[in-house]
Amino acid sequence: MTADAHSPVVEGRGIVQDYAVPGSLFARAGKVRALNGIDFAVEKGKTLAIVGESGSGKSTLARIIALIDAPSSGELRIDDHPVDIARKRPSPALRSKVQMVFQNPYGSLNPRQKIGNVLMEPLVINTDMPASERRDRAEAMIKKVGLQPEHFNRYPHMFSGGQRQRIAIARALMLNPSLLVLDEPVSALDLSVQAQVLNLLADLQEEFELTYVFVSHDLSVVRYIADDVMVISKGEAVEQGSREALFADPQHPYTRALFAATPITDVAAIRARVARRQAARQG
Amino acid sequence: MALLNIKNLTVKFATATGSFTAVDGIDVHVDRGEVLAIVGESGSGKSVSMLAVMGLLPDTATITADEMTYDGRDISNLSASERRHLIGREITMIFQEPVASLNPSFTVGFQIEEVLRLNLGLSRDDARARALDLFRAVGIPEPETKINAYPHQMSGGQCQRVMIAIAIASNPRLLIADEPTTALDVTIQKQILDLLMKLQEDYGMALILITHDMGVVAETADRVVVQYQGKKMEEADVLSLFEAPQHPYTRALLSALPENATGDRLPTVSDFFAQEAAR
pLDDT tens per residue, range B213-231:
899 999 999 999 999 989 9
pLDDT (tens digit, 9 = 90+) per residue, B91-100?
A: 999 988 888 8
pLDDT (tens digit, 9 = 90+) per residue, A239-264?
A: 999 999 999 999 999 999 999 998 88
The answer to whether B3 touches B30, Cβ cutoff 8 Å, is yes
**Region B175-198 average pLDDT:** 90
Confidence of residue A283 (pLDDT cuts 50, 70, 90): low
In Å, how far are A162, A211, A216, A226, B261 from A202, measured between CA atoms? 16, 11, 16, 10, 13
Q: Which residues of A touch B183 (CB under 8 A)?
A: none
The answer to whether B156 touches B129, Cβ cutoff 8 Å, is no
Distance from CA of B75 to the nearest CA of A (A): 30
B143-B149-B150 Cα angle (round to 5): 140
Share of chain A above pLDDT 70, in %: 98
| Residue type at position B259 | E
- Which of B35, B36, B155, B186 is the best substitution to test chain A (most A C-beta atoms within 10 A)? B186
**Region A265-276 average pLDDT:** 91
Distance from CA of B46 to the nearest CA of A (A): 14
* Residue contact B212–A190, C-beta within 8 A: yes
Q: Is the predicted pLDDT of residue A5 greater than 70, yes or no?
A: no
pLDDT (tens digit, 9 = 90+) per residue, A129-174?
A: 999 999 999 999 999 898 999 999 999 998 888 899 999 999 999 9
Choose the weakest-confidence range: A177-191, B12-26, B135-149, B260-274: B260-274
Output the pLDDT for position A36.
Answer: 93
Strands A81-83 and A228-233: unpaired
Return the bridge partners of A49, or none.
Answer: A214, A229
- Across chain B, mean pLDDT equals 90
**Region A209-214 average pLDDT:** 95
* Residue contact A217–B212, C-beta within 8 A: no
Distance from CA of B168 to the nearest CA of A (A): 21
Output the pLDDT for position B80.
Answer: 86
Minimal CA–CA distance to A102: which of A165, A189, A35, A177? A165
Q: Is the predicted pLDDT of residue A2 greater than 80, yes or no?
A: no
Name the residue in chain B with its Cα closest to that of A255.
Answer: B187
Q: Give the alpha-carbon dihedral of A279, B1, B3, B7, to 10 degrees.
A: 120
CB nearest B218 (choices: A190, A223, A263): A263
In total, the C-beta contacts within 8 angstroms joining chain A to chain B are 103
Q: Which residues of B225-244 are buried (b: 16+ CB within 10 A; e: fewer)?
A: bbbbebbbbbbbebbebbee
Minimal CA–CA distance to B266: which of A22, A224, A167, A252? A224
In Å, how far are A67, A68, A93 from A140, measured between CA atoms? 27, 28, 22
Confidence of residue A39 (pLDDT cuts 50, 70, 90): very high
Q: Is the predicted pLDDT of residue A12 greater than 50, yes or no?
A: yes
Q: Is the predicted pLDDT of residue B262 greater than 70, yes or no?
A: no
Q: Is the predicted pLDDT of residue B77 greater than 90, yes or no?
A: no
Of B273 and B104, the structure prediction assigns the larger pLDDT to B104
Domains, in order of start, for chain A: 8-282 (3.40.50.300)
Check CB contact of A29 with chain B, cutoff 8 Å: no
Output the pLDDT for position A1.
Answer: 46
Chain B interface, Cβ < 8 Å to A: 41-42, 156, 185-190, 201, 212-216, 218-219, 222, 237-239, 242-243, 252-254, 256-261, 264-270
Q: Which residues of B touch A161 (CB under 8 A)?
A: 42
Q: Is the predicted pLDDT of residue B16 greater than 80, yes or no?
A: yes
Confidence of residue B263 (pLDDT cuts 50, 70, 90): low
Check CB contact of A282 with chain B, cutoff 8 Å: no
Q: Is the predicted pLDDT of residue B163 greater than 80, yes or no?
A: yes
- Across chain A, mean pLDDT equals 90
**Region B222-241 average pLDDT:** 94
**Region B196-204 average pLDDT:** 92
Strands B2-15 and B67-70: antiparallel
Minimal CA–CA distance to A223: which of B261, B122, B214? B261
Q: Is the predicted pLDDT of residue B127 greater than 60, yes or no?
A: yes
How many whole angstroms separate alpha carbon A101 and alpha carbon A214?
A: 10
How many whole angstroms separate alpha carbon B238 and alpha carbon B195?
A: 20
Check CB contact of A165 with chain B, cutoff 8 Å: no
The answer to whether A185 touches A201, Cβ cutoff 8 Å, is yes
Output the pLDDT for position B79.
Answer: 87
The answer to whether B127 touches B116, Cβ cutoff 8 Å, is yes
* Residue contact B252–A192, C-beta within 8 A: yes
